Amino acid sequence: KQEVTQIPAALSVPEGENLVLNCSFTDSAIYNLQWFRQDPGKGLTSLLLIQSSQREQTSGRLNASLDKSSGRSTLYIAASQPGDSATYLCAVLRVSWGKFQFGAGTQVVVTP
């Protein structure tokens, strides 16, 4: 069974610091990995999609890397802002299952 783990569960940083969020998964046979942002009481907003053949994907201040062999993805957010405060979730699309499987998320607070 695929396990998707996000550590730490919560993180607090001062404004301007870079954020590093981790996602690990036990089954390396995946089609892709997707990072989402969730604001309190809201739905999930897609941030980045990394295909299995890619090693990284970038959008503005966000950069996500994927290392299938070690079962890890890292989301980097440069120069964090209070508006980056949210919960960040990763999800993997497994070859054997064909559906998205989620980690429990990392709750981020960026203090002014």
Partner 1 sequence: NAGVTQTPKFQVLKTGQSMTLQCAQDMNHNSMYWYRQDPGMGLRLIYYSASEGTTDKGEVPNGYNVSRLNKREFSLRLESAAPSQTSVYFCASSESGLNTEAFFGQGTRLTVV
The binding site for partner 1 (CB under 8 A) comprises 4, 9, 31-32, 34, 36, 41-46, 49, 51-52, 89, 91, 93, 98-105
Instruction: Specify the residue, 32 or 85, whose C-beta has the smaller distance to partner 1.
Output: 32
Give me the least distance between CB of 82 and partner 1, in Å please.
23
Phi, psi of 2 (to 5 degrees): -70, 135
Give me the least distance between CB of 28 and partner 1, in Å please.
15
Give me the least distance between CB of 61 and partner 1, in Å please.
20
Which residues are CB-neighbours of 48 under 8 A, at least 6 positions away? 34, 35, 57, 58, 59, 62, 64, 75
Instruction: Specify the residue, 77 or 89, whose C-beta has the smaller distance to partner 1.
Output: 89
Instruction: Specify the residue, 89 or 110, whose C-beta has the smaller distance to partner 1.
Output: 89
Give me the least distance between CB of 69 and partner 1, in Å please.
19
Closest listed residue to residue 29, CA positions, set 107, 105, 101: 101
Tell me the two tokens of residue 86.
């949210």
Instruction: Specify the residue, 14 or 41, whose C-beta has the smaller distance to partner 1.
Output: 41
Alpha carbon distance 14, 110 (integer Å): 5
Closest listed residue to residue 92, CA positions, set 7, 22, 33: 33
